[in-house]
Structure 1
Amino acid sequence: MKATTTTLATETFTTPAQLLKHWQLHRNLTRKIINNFPEDKLFSYSVGGMRPFAELAMEFIGMAVPTLTGIITEKWEKFKHEEAPVTKQELLDLWDEQTEIINTLWPKIPAERFNDVVLAFGQWEMPVYLLVLYVVENEIHHRGQGYVYLRSLGIEPTPFYERD
């Protein structure tokens, strides 16, 4: 007699916890790329008129916590930081601080909220899960610039698959 397998249909592809883990693995890799930069190049070096990597990292920082805060509160406020980091260590410290805030805010988002459509920052209308993926994809996209910068400096960056 032939065995049969029954699969339960589900609409859930991933869970909020899995999505956070995916994002945090990308954040871990981006942190490594920040750390790969020499101090004197992180804030000044660019290729082809693109922004220095520290500016890109500040863009990631400027999107992450404000996006989660907006998802939770419906108040879409831009990131406010009194003084921009001027050293690699200050940038890494801010990165780590923001990572902890993300970990604190994430559990405040109910699972059903991820399907709600929001108008983020008055310009991006999409379901919450796509908004979170947009933030992650933006980081991945610009992290690629960091790879180009590092290689043009003769520095081998952390491999893209080393996320933890």
Structure 2
Amino acid sequence: METQVKNETLISREQLLAHWQGHRALTRRTIEAFPEKDLFSFSIGGMRTFAELAAELLAIAGPGVVGLATDEWKELDERDQAKGSKEKLLELWDKTTAQIDQYWERIPEGRFQEKLVAFGQYEDQGYCTLLYFIDNEIHHRGQGYVYLRALGIAPPAFWER
């Protein structure tokens, strides 16, 4: 029995970008909800601080979208992203958001279906790599929600993206 595969689009590029940017906006509000001191010092069970988790997200998102657009992948580097102040972290977050918007349209047609090696070490299809960026952010934001609740702070409503 032969099965014919119909080429249909489940979600457009624009919808996928809006979905990702919705998650980024929610993570930004999560960063904002932290008191400055706790953003850089509070953790539970030996996990990283939320500033360190946000630094990982910054190290992946901007360079990741550049890699998808250009197929030029820098080594993953989380250093110095979480140092400074909450204001600096939010500024870096906003610059990365703008970088995503800038490079999104440059991602070649078909790139999401290509096999690639992100950051010189993670081999997968482009769409899987992008979904990892988004899934990783959701995962770390969940950790931030646990931290906020432990601090007695209500996190942003997760459905408000």
TM score, norm. by length of structure 1: 0.88
Deviation, 1:89, is: 0.7
Residue 26 (str. 1) matches residue 50 (str. 2): no
User: Could you say which residue in structure 2 is the equivalent of 1:67?
Assistant: 64
User: Could you say which residue in structure 1 is the equivalent of 2:34?
Assistant: 37
RMSD: 1.7
Say which of 137, 140, 145 aligns to 1:139. 137
Structure 1: gaps spanning 5 or more residues: 1-8
For the structure 1 residues 79 and 98, does the alpha-carbon distance in structure 2 shift closer, same or farther, using more than 3 Å as the test?
farther
- Contact in 2 for aligned 1:117/1:128 (Cα 8 Å): yes
Structure 2: gaps spanning 5 or more residues: 1-5
Deviation, 1:28, is: 0.3
2:110 is paired with a residue of what secondary structure?
A: helix
Deviates more, 1:75-84 or 1:101-110: 75-84
User: Could you say which residue in structure 2 is the equivalent of 1:53?
Assistant: 50
- Contact in 1 for aligned 2:55/2:78 (Cα 8 Å): no
What is the alpha-carbon distance in structure 1 between the residues aligned to residue 129 and residue 79 of structure 2?
26
Runs of 4+ in structure 1 deviating by more than 4 angstroms, as ranges, are: 79-83
Aligned sequence identity (%)? 50
What is the alpha-carbon distance in structure 2 between the residues aligned to residue 93 and residue 79 of structure 1?
20
What is the alpha-carbon distance in structure 2 between the residues aligned to residue 82 and residue 114 of structure 1?
28
TM score, norm. by length of structure 2: 0.90
Alignment of 1:88-127 (within 5 A): 88-127=86-125
- Contact in 2 for aligned 1:16/1:111 (Cα 8 Å): no
User: Could you say which residue in structure 2 is the equivalent of 1:87?
Assistant: 85
Deviation, 1:74, is: 2.0
